[in-house]
Amino acid sequence: MNRDRRKVYRIVIAALVGGLVVSTLVAAITGAAGLSVREAFAALLALFRDGAGAAGSFPEWAPRLLLDVRLPRIALALIGGAALATAGTSFQGAFRNPLADPYLLGVSAGAGLGATIAIVWKPLESLGIYGLPLLAFIGAALAAFLVYRLATFGGRTGTASLLLSGVAVGSTLTAIMSFLMVATERDLHTVIVWLMGGLGAASWMKVWITLPVVVGAFVFTWLNARRMNLLLMGEERARELGVDSQRTRRNLIIVASLTTAAAVSFTGLIGFIGLMVPHIMRLLVGPDHRRLLPASALFGAVLLLVADTVARSVLAPAEIPVGIITAVSGGPFFLYLLRTRRGL
């Protein structure tokens, strides 16, 4: 029933918002430095009262910890998760394939190469702590741009061409990156850890940089939701129905690639969210992008937050790279898909 779908949607959104609140609370009290719920709240309150608060109701370092370390990390996780999920939804719509992911167009390879160069090439250290994200972003954006240009013939960019181009550019960039990694053994560890994804160096500045980008990208994509629905019938049919298919698809891909690049440059390569989240949400709220996009963004945010919380608390004080947690959940997910689809 269409009515049923609307009802399910409302329930899902409510559940996700609830999940968001709960996971934020849990993330706030979990970590290498343990806090109870009461302490966390007291500490938060103290922040608003500028440090004053019943002494002893929270450890002295708690307000600082929450404000400077945990909250930005939580925010970055939410933003990054939403970004990847939205980009994944865009890609799955643009390619009419529920198995597409945001790294298709060489974005991950480009980001990885950029980051590796930033880590390995000593002269770049003068760029400071924003050098790495900057280079990762440039790398990702350039890669996506290159892939897109290579796949465009006479104004038309076909799906198959894009995929081929993505593989070609991606594998070339990965090869260069691997070579660089091998050639400088010293920094190998740093590169590998970055590649596996991590939110350890979260800061409010990073949040302020990524937040407008991700919000803007989400809004842009959501406004194109109806067109994305029509695109699912194929470029030709969508054009017959009045959608400027080539332009819409191109814009969606560009925005999604840049969003992914922005997220990835600060968080490293976190896989599976862009792929799994839209896929799962489609099963719950249906393929209509007007519902799918907000649901996916919310779920992606919650998922990454939960994964990150697990990543930094299971083996505290050591941190498991977040990408490993998401990959671990990705495996069973694909198995489940395989079995339920009966090899379709």
Partner 1 sequence: MTALTFAARGLEVALAGRHVLGPLDLDVPRGSFIGILGPNGSGKTTLLRALAGTVDICAGTVLLEGEPLEQYSTAALAKARGVVPQTFSLDFSFTLGEMVAMGRYARDESYFPSARAGRLRSRRTKTSRPHGHEATDHPSVAAALEHTGLSDLADRLVTQLSGGERQRALIAQTLAQDTPTLLLDEPLNNLDLNHQLEVMQLLVRLQAEGRTLLVVLHDLNMAAQYCDRLLVLGDGRIMAQGGPSEILDPALVMDLFRVRVSVHREGRRPYVTPLWSRAAASLADSPRTGVHVMAGGGAARGLIEELVLQGLAPTVGIVSVFDTDFATGRQYELDVISSPPFEPFSAEAVRELRAATAAAAVVVIAPIFFGQGNLELLRVAAAAQAEGKKILIIDSPPIHERDASGGLAGDMLRELLESGATPFSSAAQAVEWLRYSSL
Partner 2 sequence: MNGHPTPRRMATRLGMSRRGWPPAPALLLLIFFLVATLSLLLAGCATQESETTPTTAADVTSVAETSSTSVPSTGSTDAQFPVTVTDDLGNTVTIPAKPLRIVSTAPANTEILFALGAGDRVVGVNALDDYPPEVADITKIGDFQVNTEAVMALSPDLVVAYSGNEEALVQIEKAGCPVLIFDPKNLEQIYTDISVVGTATGTGDEADQLVASIRATIEEITTSASLSGYKPTVFYAVDNTLWSAGSETFVDELLTLVNAVNVAATAGDGGTAISGYFQFAPEQLVAADPDIVLLPAGFYASIDEFVSDPRFAGLTAVKEGRVRLVNDVIITRPGPRIGEGLRELAKALRPEAF
Q: How far apart are CA 125 and CA 206, in angstroms?
A: 18
319 binds, among partner 2, partner 1, none (CB under 5 to 8 A by kind): partner 2
Stretch binding partner 2 (CB under 8 A), from 65-73, 268-276, 278-286, 303-311: 65-73
Give the one entry of partner 1, partner 2, none that residue 211 binds, where binding means its C-beta sits below a cut-off of 5 to 8 angstroms depending on kind.
Answer: partner 2
Query: Residue 223 and residue 245: Cα distance in Å, rounded?
Result: 15
Q: How far is CA 306 from CA 35, 150, 196, 261, 278, in A?
A: 17, 38, 17, 22, 17
Q: Where are the beta strands (DSSP E) in 1-125?
A: none
The residue among 159 and 187 lying less far from partner 2, judged by its C-beta, is 187
Determine, following the binding rule CB under 8 A, whether residue 59 of this chain makes contact with partner 1: no
CB neighbour list of residue 143: distance below 8 Å, 6 or more residues apart: 105, 106, 107, 109, 110, 111, 113, 169, 170, 173
Q: Which of residues 211-230 bind partner 1 (CB under 8 A)?
A: 222, 225-227, 229-230
> CA torsion sign, 15 to 20 to 21 to 27?
positive
- 30: region left, alpha or beta (phi > 0 left; psi from -120 to 50 alpha): beta
Q: Which span (16-24, 147-155, 266-274, 284-292) binds partner 1, by CB under 8 A?
A: 284-292
Residue with smaller CB distance to partner 1, 189 or 226: 226
Cβ-based neighbours of 246, under 8 Å, separated by 6 or more: 155, 156, 157, 235
Nearer to partner 1 by Cβ, of 231 and 269: the residue is: 231
Structure tokens belonging to residue 1: 């029933």
The binding track of 230-269 with respect to partner 1, each residue x by CB under 8 A or -, is x-xxx-xx-xxxxxx-------------------------
- Among the listed residues 44, 174, 290, 330, the single contact to partner 1 using CB under 8 A: 290
Per the document, the length of the chain is 344
Contact 135, 309 (CB under 8 A): no
Cis peptide before 317 (omega within 30 of 0): yes
Question: Nearest distance from residue 231's CB to partner 2, in Å?
Answer: 12
Residue 256 beta carbon to partner 1: minimum distance, rounded to whole angstroms:
18
127 binds partner 1 per the rule CB under 8 A = no
223 binds partner 2, rule: CB under 8 A: yes
Is residue 180 within 8 A of residue 120, CB to CB? The reply is yes
Cα(258)–Cα(243) distance, integer angstroms:
23
**Among 317, 339, 340, 343, which residue interacts with partner 2 (rule: CB under 8 A)?**
317
| Of residues 265-294, those binding partner 2 (CB under 8 A) | none
Tell me if 62 sits within 8 A of 31, measured CB to CB.
no
User: Quick one: what does residue 327 bind among partner 1, partner 2, none, with the CB cut-off 5 to 8 Å set by partner type?
Assistant: none
The contact set with partner 2 (CB under 8 A) reads 31-34, 47, 50-51, 59-61, 64-65, 67-70, 129, 185-186, 189-190, 193, 200-201, 203-205, 208, 211-212, 215-216, 219-220, 223-227, 312, 316-319
The contact set with partner 1 (CB under 8 A) reads 1-2, 5-6, 9, 96, 98, 222, 225-227, 229-230, 232-234, 236-237, 239-244, 282, 286-288, 290-291
